[in-house]
């Protein structure tokens, strides 16, 4: 229960701060700026890794949980409870944002700015790179320590910085599901569920090869 509560709180913080930055930026006519939104996502991930990494691993992301499982670092029986906890935390954050900002239409939902295929490939690639970094800086299924916090937070912020204007740079099914569900905006949700999970799964194979070639178990 400690682990599940940690995942719920961590994902709540991620969605509340990240999508909250998007909502406030829209309502204040760009005061936060795109750079500020990207930094918000990166910094909240970094903070939650430091706060919760030793308790639950601070996955904060169903795609990351699936990636750890495929890498044989995570128990099968914990996959569904982790994902449900992450989604519950994310949805609670979006519900709170709905209460605070009832006139905002999307609540920070991720939507492609161009062709859906373009955003699909972007999200797949972004999540691949994120999972690749996570697997190489984490211990077992836990993202902890100075290296993990800085590296993972930096990747999230960096990818949001350059890809956010096109795909939204979700990299996280729960982050996209929550505002879509609360704002009833499901049109492109499939992109952010399928592409992110596929990207995380694909990252497992080069990590396995690189670490086995180096003589270290994945």
| Domain-located, residue 218 | no
Position 16 scores a pLDDT of: 98
Closest CA to 12 of 54, 67, 66, 51: 51
Element (H, E) at 204: helix 189-213
The sign one gets for the Cα dihedral 202, 146, 12, 187 is negative
The sign one gets for the Cα dihedral 152, 62, 211, 208 is negative
Residue 207: pLDDT band by 50, 70, 90 thresholds? confident
| Domain-located, residue 113 | yes
Position 1 scores a pLDDT of: 87
> CA-based angle 129:112:43, to the nearest 5?
50
Residue 215: pLDDT band by 50, 70, 90 thresholds? low
pTM to 2 decimals? 0.92
Element (H, E) at 151: helix 145-167
Residue 97: pLDDT band by 50, 70, 90 thresholds? very high
Closest CA to 4 of 52, 76, 74: 52
- Overall domain count for the chain: 1
Residue 15: pLDDT band by 50, 70, 90 thresholds? very high
| Domain-located, residue 98 | yes
Position 143 scores a pLDDT of: 56
| Domain-located, residue 204 | yes
CATH number for position 19: 1.20.1080.10
Range of the domain at 170: 2-213
Residue 27: pLDDT band by 50, 70, 90 thresholds? very high
Closest CA to 152 of 172, 168, 129: 129
| Helix, coil or strand: residue 139 | strand
Position 60 scores a pLDDT of: 96
pLDDT tens-digit readout, 126-180: 999 999 999 988 865 555 556 788 999 999 999 999 999 999 999 999 999 999 9
């Amino acid at each position: 229960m400690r682990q599940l509560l940690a995942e719920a709180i961590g994902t709540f913080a991620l969605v509340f701060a990240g999508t909250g930055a998007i909502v406030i930026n829209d309502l204040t006519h760009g005061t936060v700026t795109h750079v500020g939104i990207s930094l918000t996502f990166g910094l909240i991930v970094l903070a939650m890794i430091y706060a919760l990494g030793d308790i639950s691993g601070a996955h904060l992301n169903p795609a990351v949980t699936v990636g750890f499982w495929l890498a044989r670092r995570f128990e099968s029986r914990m996959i569904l409870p982790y994902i449900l906890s992450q989604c519950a935390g994310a949805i609670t954050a979006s519900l709170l944002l709905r209460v605070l900002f009832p006139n905002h239409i999307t609540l920070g939902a991720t939507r492609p700015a161009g062709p859906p295929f373009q955003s699909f490939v972007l999200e797949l690639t972004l999540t691949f790179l994120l999972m690749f970094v996570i697997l190489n800086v984490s211990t077992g299924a836990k993202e902890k320590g100075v290296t993990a916090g800085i590296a993972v937070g930096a990747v999230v912020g960096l990818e949001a910085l350059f890809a956010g204007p096109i795909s939204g740079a979700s990299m996280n099914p729960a982050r996209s599901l929550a505002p879509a569900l609360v704002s009833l905006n499901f049109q492109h949700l499939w992109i952010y569920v399928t592409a992110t999970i596929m990207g995380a799964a694909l990252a497992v194979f080069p990590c396995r090869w690189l670490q086995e070639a180096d003589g270290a178990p994945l």
